[in-house]
Amino acid sequence: MLVDIRRNLHKVAAGAIVGLLVLAFASWGIGDYITGFSQISVASIDGKNITGQAYARARQLQEQRYRNQLGDNYQAGMLDQPMLKMALVQELINEYLRVTDAKKSGYRISPEELTRTITDIEVFQGPNGFDRQQYKDLLRRQGLSIGGFERDLAESIVTDQVRTGLSTSSIVPPSEVAQLLKLQGQQRDVRFLLLPNDTFANQVEVDDQAIETFYDEHIDQFQTTEQVSIQFLELVLDDFAAEINIDDQILERLYSEQESEFLTPEKRRASHLLIAIPDDADDATVNAALVKITILKEQLDDGASFSELAKLNSEDLGSALKGGDLGLFGHGIMDPAFETAAFSQPLNDVSEPVRSAFGYHLIKVTEIEAKRLQPLSEVKEEISLRYRREQAESAFFTATEALQDIVYEQPDSLQPAADEFDLVIQQSELFPRSGGTGITATNEVIEQAFSNDVLQEGQNSSVINIGNSRSVVLRITEHQPAAAKPLTEVAASIREILLAQATSEAVKTRGAGLVETLAQGESVADDLTDLSVQWQDRTALSRNQPGLPAPMVAELFRMPVSESPPTYQGMALDNGDYVVFAVTKLYDESLPATDDERLQLQLNLERLRGDIAFIGYLKNLRESVDIKIYPENI
């Protein structure tokens, strides 16, 4: 039991934990350095604002996810579409509503449970299990506070509990599984006539006047891409770090000041034997558990094997299989009463019965890892790196502020700033709003380069913080506005567009006419003499039949069966072809399935219903509050 709780808060929380870590560690330090959003809101919920800073941070996370997923196919600016921006705001609103409702509904995670969850996260593990110093250092180095991380993690787990609750309440009876298998196993005889699009290509023409008219009406589709080139200055944190030196005197002082960070607290390895007591146990149940644990203690005092007794009697099944072994643990991990006993118990002695929130324990400490202060020689490099980093950051941000002042006071040139900081003015190639390469692939640089002050007014940009380690200022050196391409350049592509449209319309008209003729009970044989097409038949067609267009198959299994006379329908396919078809016979047979396959299908249906329930849950939450969105701030 203790092991199970220590290893798993709830299995359903695992996804939330991993997701939160991916987001947190993908955006190390970004949130603290976003400026200019403190008084801006992108949305409000019953008067409570979602700030521009929260949106900007979420935008960075979204961008990082896309970079990870798309790799080299990612293009800067691809997330600037209004639809994607609005979707991100909607997700922030949904997340706020979920967290708020979960708290109102009484979903909670105790500090002890949160601690146990964190101590199982892989990136916080050292050689001997959870390493609190590694945990603190990792969060600190990446600009994440412990309090903020733990709050976000707790909220993520709680909201995941809500979704899991909705999923587990969606029950699908076996009868519905049987009905679905019957539908999936159904087969049909079909008859169809395929009219290829290219058969009609020689029946249509496009004249020059049509091309010119299309060009005039769709001139926006035939524009050259607007492009700019920039010159820029760049401050790089690593350049400042390279200039920082540290001597032995400073090292010794820092080691003394930070000694607690290099102290590894005592850890203990223990085995236990648990007689569990339910939360609602009466006195008789508690006394019975005490009697049982006392008898087991007497057996141990008489020389019985702790490991064997634990395997046979312990009600903590997770550790019982290992003879009661719980592994190494430090302070703040186990139940307080259990921890107090374990850390006061002599090595290899068996404790008296210990009462915890889970029941009565017998505890045997099998290993003591004494607290240890790492010597300066072991941590010298870490202290040096940290010191140089801190000093470099201080100098870097001081320089960044000074750079901002200079480019603001002298907005018509980067040369004064270059002279002040002994920097080289760098030049980019032309790039569009979708971004270029190197620094011009960065969203912040693209946004500034195409901003009104920089592009239209010809001013220097403000300082752009790229992550926490680079600061850039820029100005435009060349601007190539978007312009209409000449008709002669695009006439051929317009002709292809118009030919495709005319051909598609011709095949649709011909196909619809055939359906109308067939609906009147007449033959279409004479109508097909100019086309090299024939009726085709498929017997016992299944839903996953290969070789036929998926939209056509889907429609065939939706339409009614009419054997004599058949009911014909027609549809245009994505490739421009047109198909006329009818269902002539139905075979009602269930799809064969093993018990395991039926169970998996049932679980999939329940998961689907859970997702639908969750969508309805979000809809109800949104309808119960006053939501305002401010598109101008997105």
Tens of pLDDT, residues 584-594? 888 887 677 78
Is residue 233 over pLDDT 90? yes
Backbone angles phi, psi at 517, to 5 degrees: -65, -45
Is residue 8 over pLDDT 80? no
Same fold, 2-171+622-633 and 266-370: no
For the chain, give every domain's residue range: 2-171+622-633, 187-201+495-587, 227-248+377-480, 266-370
Residue pair 361/274 in contact (Cβ under 8 Å)? The answer is yes
Write out the two tokens for 309: 């007794």
User: Which tens digits make up the pLDDT trace of 183-226?
Assistant: 777 888 899 999 999 888 888 899 999 999 999 999 988 999 99
Quick one: average pLDDT of 315-324?
Answer: 88
What local confidence, expressed as pLDDT, does residue 2 receive?
A: 30
Quick one: average pLDDT of 234-263?
Answer: 88
Name the pTM for this structure: 0.46
Instruction: Give the C-alpha separation, 320 to 311, whole Å.
Output: 5
Quick one: average pLDDT of 265-277?
Answer: 93
Instruction: Give the C-alpha separation, 460 to 454, whole Å.
Output: 6
How is 468-501 classified by DSSP, letter by letter?
TTEEEEEEEEEEE---BPPHHHHHHHHHHHHHHH
DSSP one-letter code for 575 = T
What local confidence, expressed as pLDDT, does residue 19 receive?
A: 41
Residues 173, 175, 176, 180, CA torsion sign:
positive
Is residue 1 over pLDDT 70? no
Quick one: average pLDDT of 326-355?
Answer: 91
Residue 475's pLDDT band, with cuts at 50, 70 and 90, is: very high
Residue pair 215/487 in contact (Cβ under 8 Å)? The answer is yes
What local confidence, expressed as pLDDT, does residue 455 receive?
A: 94
Quick one: average pLDDT of 544-556?
Answer: 85
What local confidence, expressed as pLDDT, does residue 76 receive?
A: 64
Quick one: average pLDDT of 221-244?
Answer: 92
User: Which tens digits make up the pLDDT trace of 99-155?
Assistant: 888 888 777 777 777 888 888 888 888 887 888 888 887 876 655 667 778 887 888
Classified by CATH at the fold level, domain 2-171+622-633 comes out as Triger factor/SurA peptide-binding fold (1.10.4030)
Tell me which of 55-69, 196-210, 431-445 is least confident.
55-69
Amino acid 72 reads D
User: Which tens digits make up the pLDDT trace of 616-630?
Assistant: 889 999 999 999 998
What local confidence, expressed as pLDDT, does residue 312 receive?
A: 93
Is residue 17 over pLDDT 50? no
Mean pLDDT of the chain: 84
Quick one: average pLDDT of 157-182?
Answer: 77
Write out the two tokens for 268: 């203990």
User: Which residues sit opposite 363 in a β-bridge?
Assistant: 272
| Selection from 282, 241, 210 nearest residue 495 by Cα | 210
Is residue 245 over pLDDT 70? yes
Residue pair 331/7 in contact (Cβ under 8 Å)? The answer is no
Instruction: Give the C-alpha separation, 20 to 507, whole Å.
Output: 53
Classified by CATH at the fold level, domain 266-370 comes out as Chitinase A; domain 3 (3.10.50)
Quick one: average pLDDT of 421-429?
Answer: 95
What local confidence, expressed as pLDDT, does residue 70 receive?
A: 80
Burial tier of 2 (Cβ tally within 10 Å: 0-12, 13-18, 19+):
buried
Quick one: average pLDDT of 159-180?
Answer: 76
Q: How far is CA 273 from CA 293, 306, 352, 365, in A?
A: 8, 8, 11, 12
Quick one: average pLDDT of 220-242?
Answer: 92
Is residue 505 over pLDDT 80? yes
Instruction: Give the C-alpha separation, 569 to 192, whole Å.
Output: 9
